[in-house]
């Protein structure tokens, strides 16, 4: 009987934990997502927004931001227990182009975003949306 308790209790605990309602805010590491407007002004007057960004996950709508050149849109997230945390944004360059892109995918970004202060760095530019793991080398991951 003692042997059954030593097996059943940990198994019951594991099954119970798997059924708890976990969310992005429950797990260990805090990841910082940054999306910066690095678009040229072109016909936009200085100080007027030329990028409109709406970001969300399945469970959390971060909201829409009207961004001026150089402005940074930042939020934090944690990876959920099932490692399915996903945030995505729709970027709309006023009067020009629009594009959806994934800003945080747990199984893609858990390691690459841990290199630079647990940050995923994104830059919206004239030819696409760039990612950097170290804030110095940028890769165009989402061309317009």
Q: pLDDT tens track of the chain, all 144 residues? A: 566 666 655 654 444 444 444 444 445 789 999 999 999 988 778 889 999 999 999 999 999 999 999 999 999 999 998 899 999 999 999 889 999 999 999 999 999 999 889 999 999 999 999 999 999 999 999 999
The first and second tokens of residue 36, run together, are 């910066």
pTM of the model: 0.78
- Strands in 31-37's sheet, in edge-to-edge order, are 72-77, 31-37, 119-125, 128-132, 139-143
Q: Are 79 and 106 in contact (CB under 8 A)?
A: yes
**CA gap 4, 10 in Å, rounded:** 10
Comparing CA positions, the residue from 58, 67, 65 lying closest to residue 87 is: 58
Give residue 140's pLDDT.
Answer: 98
């Amino acid at each position: 009987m003692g042997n059954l308790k030593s097996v059943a209790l940990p198994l019951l605990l594991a099954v119970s934990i798997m059924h708890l309602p976990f969310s992005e805010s429950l797990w260990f590491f805090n990841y910082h997502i940054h999306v910066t407007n690095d678009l040229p002004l072109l016909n936009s007057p200085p100080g007027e927004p030329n990028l409109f960004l709406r970001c969300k996950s399945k469970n959390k709508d971060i909201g829409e931001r009207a961004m001026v050149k150089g402005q940074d849109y930042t939020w934090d997230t944690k990876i959920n227990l099932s490692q399915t945390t996903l945030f995505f944004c729709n970027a709309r360059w006023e009067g020009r182009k629009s594009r959806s892109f994934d800003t945080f995918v747990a199984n893609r970004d858990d390691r690459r975003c841990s290199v630079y202060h647990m940050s995923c760095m994104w830059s919206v530019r004239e030819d696409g949306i760039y990612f950097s793991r170290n804030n110095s080398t940028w890769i165009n991951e989402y061309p317009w």
